[in-house]
Structure 1
Amino acid sequence: MTLLTYQVFKTVAEIGSFHKAADILGLTPSAISHAISSMESELGFSVVTRSKAGITLTNYGEHLLPYVNAVLNSDESLKQVIDEMNGLKTGKVKIGVFSSVCTSWLPDILKSFRELYEGIHIEVFQGTYDDVAYWIKNGVVDLGFLSVSSAKDIPIQPLYCDPLICVLPKGMKNSGNPDFVDIEEMRAHQFVTQRECTDADIQNFLKENKLRIQSNYHVVDDLSTIRLVEKGFGICLMPELVMQDIPYEVDTYPIQPAACRIIGIAAMNPDFMAPAVRSMYNYILENYKNVK
């Protein structure tokens, strides 16, 4: 099998369509279909399932995909090393981010990094903690921002301790200490919560403090959560970084006991990176540690 075959398989897996993969790769749909069929003949098993709904990976295909990504990433690394030896700073970096880093840090990172390395192309993938962790493990991205608690077995370099705060409807607080919200005060309120893959650090705080919350509202994104709080459907906990430039009328308070999520930059093999990836990794470590 050739690198082109691997690229065809990777693109079909990501897009779920022979026709769309053909457009992206500059090939005909029949050439895409032939490449996949030839791959399957050589392997001795099917890697995709064809249906009217589109193309999906078989179990064998799912198992192969991380290895195919590794081969393609190795080829990209080789090209970058050769360019570096020729005095060129080129290559591609694929980076995964969750929402608040995407809105707060990423625009500045992209702009300032590009000014230093014009020849390095950056591709961004936004998702939940679980999405970013999956992308890192399966070679979809080279680097990813995660919280330390969500990284689990993925090597991660801590960057910033982002305090957790309590968000209440405007003017709602009329009991307890006027300067913070403690566990006992939280127990008296209904919560608006997010899925654990989105706010793992908040879920950990609730469990550690034996706070069994009541919630009829289980949403995914930060803005939806805060909007429901604004309209009086409950309170929520949020990392402080999320609350920057929020357009909704809510009050925020420190919590007791204090807690934070630790944001870091993660990569599966930090000691073995392509030159462009290493440049981005080191740039983030040098310029965004303890930056808010």
Structure 2
Amino acid sequence: MTLLTYQVFKTVADIGSFHKAADILGLTPSAVSHSVSALESELGFAVLNRSKSGVTLTNYGEHLLPYVNAVLNADESLHQFIAETNGLKQGKVKMAVFSSVCTNWLPEILSSFHKKHEGITIEVFQGTYDDVSYWLKNGVVDLGFLSVSAAKDIPIEPLFRDPLLCVLPKGTKKSGKTMTIEEMRTHQFVTQRESTDADIQNFLKENKLDVQSHYHVVDDLATVRLVEKGFGICLMPELVMNDIPYEVDTYPVEPAAARIIGIATMNPNFMAPAVRTMYRYIIDYYKRI
């Protein structure tokens, strides 16, 4: 098996199409198909399901992909090390982010980083906490922003404390500067899936808030829009509310709570030079804000 074989398999798995993978790799569809077939013949098992609707990973393929990613990442690390040794600062960093980091911080980070390190390419993947964790564990990305509570067993460097706020329809609360647990108990909630707001779910559980909700959404904008229209209240990190255009009221929760945002990587002691450069840049960046 060659690195090209691994790259073909990864690209087809990511894209779900032999033809599209061929376009990306600059190969013919028949060459891509032959490469995958040769891989399967050498392995002794099928790695892809072929159908008219597209291509998907078999169970064996799903287990193989993280190892293929590790090989390709190691090859990238080797090339970066050689370039660094020869005095060249170049390479690629694959980074995962969740929504509020993507909109609030990422543009400035990418812009300022590129001015200092023009030879390093950054590839960005946006998703939920669960997506970021999956991508990190399976070698799809090198670095990922996560909340500390969502990281679990993934090594993470804490960076930023993001307070939790209670969001209410405008004019709902008549007095007080905070929103207490007892006050929250009297309201219907608009909630999100646990993969989207693990820290909020933890806050609810820790304070024995058995919330009643008929609205289970994923998108932050949709959640707050429902609150604005009077369908309930919700909890949101302060950073999220920076992106919200709707007319609602926000109050710090009591007891005070926050999510801790950090930068995570599976191997903090073994990173490719470009990845290490970005990792250190992000840590220094948050020391300044």
| TM-score (normalizing by structure 2) | 0.99
1:74 and 2:85 aligned = no
Partner residue, 1:23: 23
Partner residue, 1:37: 37
Once superposed, what is the RMSD of the aligned Cα atoms?
0.8
Partner residue, 1:140: 140
Partner residue, 2:176: 178
Partner residue, 1:221: 219
* Contact 2:190–2:226 (8 Å) recurs in 1: yes
1:234 and 2:232 aligned = yes
- Per the alignment, in what secondary structure is the counterpart of residue 37 of structure 1? helix
| TM-score (normalizing by structure 1) | 0.98
1:86 and 2:86 aligned = yes
1:258 and 2:256 aligned = yes
C-alpha separation between the residues in 1 aligned to 2:221 and 2:116?
33
Amino acid at match of 1:203: Q
| Residue of structure 2 aligned with 1:278, choices 276, 282, 286 | 276
- Per the alignment, in what secondary structure is the counterpart of residue 189 of structure 2? strand
Deviation sequence 1:73-130 (CA, Å, 0-9, x none): 0000000001001110000000000000000010000000000000000000000000
- Residue 178 of structure 1: CA displacement? 1.4
- Residue 290 of structure 1: CA displacement? 7.1
> After the TM superposition, which residues 161-176 of structure 1 pair with which residues of structure 2 at under 5 Å, given as runs?
161-174=161-174
Partner residue, 2:3: 3
Amino acid at match of 1:152: K
- Per the alignment, in what secondary structure is the counterpart of residue 265 of structure 1? strand
* Contact 1:159–1:290 (8 Å) recurs in 2: no
- Per the alignment, in what secondary structure is the counterpart of residue 288 of structure 1? helix
Q: Which moved more, 1:238-247 or 1:159-168?
A: 238-247
* Contact 2:49–2:56 (8 Å) recurs in 1: yes
The alignment covers a number of residue pairs equal to 289
C-alpha separation between the residues in 2 aligned to 1:290 and 1:40?
51
- Residue 53 of structure 1: CA displacement? 1.1
> After the TM superposition, which residues 93-104 of structure 1 pair with which residues of structure 2 at under 5 Å, given as runs?
93-104=93-104
C-alpha separation between the residues in 2 aligned to 1:47 and 1:287?
42
Partner residue, 1:208: 206
* Contact 1:95–1:124 (8 Å) recurs in 2: yes
* Contact 2:103–2:243 (8 Å) recurs in 1: no
Instruction: Find runs of 4+ consecutive structure 1 residues off by over 2 angstroms.
Output: none
* Contact 1:160–1:289 (8 Å) recurs in 2: no
Partner residue, 1:54: 54
C-alpha separation between the residues in 1 aligned to 2:35 and 2:234?
51
* Contact 1:160–1:290 (8 Å) recurs in 2: no
Query: Which residues of structure 2 form unaligned runs of 5+?
Result: none
Amino acid at match of 2:283: L
- Residue 289 of structure 1: CA displacement? 3.7
- Per the alignment, in what secondary structure is the counterpart of residue 5 of structure 1? helix
- Per the alignment, in what secondary structure is the counterpart of residue 249 of structure 2? strand
* Contact 2:66–2:139 (8 Å) recurs in 1: yes
- Per the alignment, in what secondary structure is the counterpart of residue 7 of structure 2? helix
Amino acid at match of 1:54: G
- Per the alignment, in what secondary structure is the counterpart of residue 145 of structure 2? strand
Partner residue, 2:12: 12
Deviation sequence 1:126-153 (CA, Å, 0-9, x none): 0000000000000000000000000000
Deviation sequence 1:157-188 (CA, Å, 0-9, x none): 000110000000111113xx511100000000
C-alpha separation between the residues in 2 aligned to 1:220 and 1:245?
15
Amino acid at match of 2:222: S
